[in-house]
Homo-oligomer: A and B are copies of this chain.
Amino acid sequence: MTDADAKVEGETKTEEETKPEEKQDEEKPPKEMRAVILNGFGGLKSVKIVKRPEPVLADGEVLVRVQLCGVSFQDVMVRQGVTESPPKTPFILGFECAGIIEALADDVENFKVGDRVVGLPDHRAWAELVPVNAKYVYPIPETIAIQEAAAVTLSYTVAYLLVHDLANVSSGQSVLLHSAGGAVGQAVCTLLQDIGDVTVLGVASKNKHEDIKESVTHLIDRGGDIPAEVKKVCPDGVDVVFDCQGGEECSRGYALLRPLGRYILFGSSNIITGETKSILSVVKSWWQVDKVSPLRLYEENKGIIGFNLRRLLHHQPGGHERVREVIQTVYNLWQKGVAKAHIDSTYALEDITEAMTKLHERKNIGKLLLDLSMEPKPKPVTPAKSKKEEKKEEKEEKEEDDKANEVTKNNAKNEKEEESKAEEKEK
């Protein structure tokens, strides 16, 4: 599982020379590191913990010796192959890491070896050593523990942009918040409490209600009749809807806005149903979203706003500069005691699939972290497999991966076609 895999990965740079005598010392391979890779888009079996050659720095990058990684719903979506333009498999998963700078490219300023930082690369964050372009590296203030920073940085950055830059929530207003129990949801709740006198209608699975009841004004069951529940509290509708579900929630959310209200779409998690991608749910999440005419918004005094941090940070001009400012603000809020880490649980790197399952099943309250110093949980003892059985399993896995990749390609093609057809129709 070491050398063969290492060579598959296309994006790692030149493999450094290793002396033959070191290779024999299996206990302490000096130039390898652990990483979580995705072998093919699909289910949990596509996710593997492997040894990889240590990365080499490119211009503009810092090398982070990672202590903690953040896991979010987006990682589940990447695994299933339902995000936009992911890398070719196999690649290292993950968008968030925190640790110590081990090396810097010559052209990197403002950082030094030993700095404690958070890195937000575009994939490839879940490894012991991660090269990150300095544009996406943020120094952690002295007073904040690395674990806190790992839990706070991304969630509060998204929450801050949503609450302040986009929704511009003020005292006396009302907010409908989907996934109130998630890490971003809990961060949004905290920021809204800081504004004061905001009515927060939080949607969460029934089993989370007891734990998050302090953070919202009214709890709504994820499985219930959300519009009816909202209307009970706010008969004229709400000022803001924060929706990370997408699909049919878009029209529902829009309809629940009162005049001057704004609907903010910041995710499309209801594209995810089973463990692997369902073409139907992908297509549904697309066609359930009604297009809206600006004239209707003019008539109804409403607004629709989209927010996508990954696109903003990595693919749009001015994005990373604004994110850096917001992260600074978030750390200031932490120091003032406003921003708080909401950690659900911490896993060893090897237990990543367990973390993903918890997210997928929407059982987490707050942030899930990977701690690279943690020992993996003991695996349940299973009867020893015969060589034949092992071979069979490997073959099935391979077929599953291939199928998943094929589906991904076809879907992407179909969606593109559907989209251009629809655009044609619009014209």
Q: Are A303 and B302 in contact (CB under 8 A)?
A: no
**In the complex, per-residue mask of A256-267: 1 if CB is within 8 Å of any chain B CB, else 0:** 001110110110
Contact with B along A292-321 (1 / 0, CB 8 A): 111111111111111110011000111100
- Bound-state Cα–Cα, A123 to B196, Å: 39
Chain B residues positioned under 8 Å from A28 (CB to CB): none
Closest to A427 in B: B290
CB distance from A371 to the nearest CB of B (A): 32
Tell me whether A250 is interfacial, beta carbon within 8 Å: yes
Taking a contact as CB atoms closer than 8 A, the residue among B258, B292, B301, B316 that contacts A292 in the complex is: B292
If A260-B312, A318-B236, A318-B258 touch, whether A294 touches B300 (CB-CB below 8 Å) is: no
- Complex interface residues of chain A between 269 and 308 (CB less than 8 A to chain B): 286, 289-308
Contact residue among B296, B301, B317 (Cβ-Cβ distance under 8 Å from A307):
B301
Q: Kindly list chain B residues whose C-beta atoms are within 8 Å of the C-beta of A311.
A: 259, 299-301
Please give the distance in Å from A179's CB to the nearest CB on chain B. 15
Contact B308 A299, beta carbon cutoff 8 Å: yes
Flag whether A165 is at the interface (Cβ < 8 A).
Answer: yes
What is the CB-to-nearest-CB distance from A75 to chain B, in angstroms, rounded to a whole number? 18
- A170 shortest CB reach to chain B, Å: 9
Cα(A265)–Cα(B302), bound, Å? 10
A322 CB-CB contact with B under 8 Å:
yes
Chain A at the B interface: SS class: mixed
In contact, A246 and B295 (Cβ under 8 angstroms): yes
A298 in contact with B307 (CB, 8 Å): yes
Please tell me if A425 contacts chain B, counting CB pairs below 8 Å: yes
- Chain B residues with Cβ below 8 Å from A268 are 295, 298
Min CB–CB distance A122 → chain B (angstroms):
15
A426 on the interface (CB 8 Å rule)? Answer: yes
Residue of B161, B260, B299, B306 near A302 (CB, 8 A) is B306
A84 with B299, Cβ < 8 A, contacts A312-B259, A316-B259, A317-B259 known: yes
Please judge, given known A-B contacts A318-B258, A319-B259, whether A426 and B290 are in contact too, CB under 8 Å.
yes
A2 within 8 A of B: no
- Point out the residues of chain B lying under 8 angstroms from A302, CB to CB: 305-306
Residue pairs across A and B with Cβ atoms less than 8 A apart, 18 shown, are A166-B260, A166-B303, A168-B168, A246-B298, A260-B318, A289-B293, A289-B294, A290-B293, A291-B291, A291-B292, A292-B292, A294-B304, A297-B306, A299-B311, A301-B312, A302-B305, A303-B304, A425-B425
A contact residues vs B (CB 8 Å cutoff): 84, 161, 165-166, 168, 236, 246, 250, 258-260, 262-263, 265-266, 268, 286, 289-308, 311-312, 316-319, 322, 425-426
Leading 10 A-B pairs by shortest Cβ distance: A297-B306, A303-B305, A298-B306, A291-B291, A259-B316, A168-B168, A236-B317, A291-B293, A265-B294, A265-B298
